[in-house]
Every structure is written in C-alpha cells, then in structure tokens.
Amino acid sequence: MQKIPTNPLNQILGIYLSDGGCTTIPASSVYPSTTESHSQKYSFLWKRGRVLEDFQLSYITKGKGVFQSKQSGLVRIGAGDAFLLFPGEWHRYRPDPKVEWAEYWINFNGEHAKRFVSSLFLSSRETVIQVGRNEALLQLLIALTEGMHSDPFFNPAVAAAQGLQAIAHLVPAINSEGDGGTA
C-alpha cells in the first residue's frame, strides 16, 4: 500500500491523513505476513517492534491478541478494542494465531490533530480503548481506507475531517472508562 501524499492545504488546516488500510489475518497464519500491504516504512517484526512518525488509530473488528508499548506494557486486546499510537512511541502488536484477525487503521498528524488528541486526554500510557462494536466507526474507517486508495476524486480535506470524526468516536468509551464504567 502506498503512503498518501500530504496535501499542503491539510498541513495549513493542521490535520492530514497519511495512510489507512485494513488487514485480515486468517487463523493459523504468520503475522506480520510477508504479503502484508504495508509499505516498508510501516512494516515491522515482533522482536523489534516499530516507531511511527504519525499517530495511528487502529480498530480491531475480529479476533484477539496482544499490544505492547514502552508506556503501556503488555495488554490483551480483542474485537471492539481500538488503540491510538502516538508519534515516536515504540510499540508492537500481534493477533492470537488461533483465531482470525481483522483491523482497520488510519495514520494522521498535524498541529490540530495533536491538540485534538490532547484535549481528549488521550495518553500513550493508556492507549487501548474498549470501544465495543461501533458500526459508525467501522463504516467511517472502511470509507476512508477505500477512498484513500481507490477514489480518483478523493478529497484530502474531507478525509481529514472524517479522521477527526473517527477519533471522536473514542470519546464515549474514554468517558465511560474515566467514570469507572466499561465500554
């Protein structure tokens, strides 16, 4: 998958999407697969982990596995969980090889994106968010990833606004967790 060129207008607006996609890993498969559609910049090995330049919002729609970052430690993840990766933060994650795995993600950055994430009190220490089944978030991520890679009329400014909308879908779960409830 090719990285999306950054539109100068979005840099001025303070948010831009740089990549997005979907990964489905059948049960009993190797992860990351050698045919996975990540560019070299985004590929990784479990032993090494990786560090991204951008934020990444990932939403797990099927399966279970583990996530680890320098700040959060090792955390179990599963369908209905989202995690927000911060720029410059070492991390790694992988599915349980016994079950099928599906995830959608968008990579984004910019000054407005940083302020927005900060205003939601999102932290690299508590990066996994129990969103639950959220059809609106899923449909938004599907539309964004398909549009980025196949729509000749793809509008980066609209995509940036939809990226903020995707992040905003985390707010009810964050508020619920902050109140001691569960999402």
pLDDT in tens, 63-97: 999 999 988 889 999 999 999 999 999 999 999 99
**Residue 167 counted as domain residue:** yes
Asked if the structure places residue 163 within a domain, the reply is yes
In a domain, residue 2? The reply is no
Residue 1 domain flag: no
CB 104 within 8 A of CB 59: yes
How far is Cα of residue 128 from the mean position of the Cα atoms in its chain? 11
Q: 61 in a domain, yes or no?
A: yes
Please report whether residue 77 resides in a domain.
yes
Please give the average per-residue pLDDT across 44-64, as a whole number: 90
Q: What is the mean pLDDT of residues 102-124?
A: 85
Number of domains within the chain? 1
CATH number of the domain within which 148 lies: 2.60.120.280
**What pLDDT, on the 0 to 100 scale, is given for residue 4?**
57
E-only strand ranges, the chain: 16-25, 55-62, 64-69, 73-78, 81-85, 91-95, 101-109, 128-130
Q: Is residue 165 part of a domain?
A: yes
pLDDT band at 158 (very low <50, low <70, confident <90, very high): confident
Mean pLDDT, residues 17-25: 90
Domain residues for the domain of 71 are 8-178
In a domain, 174, yes or no: yes
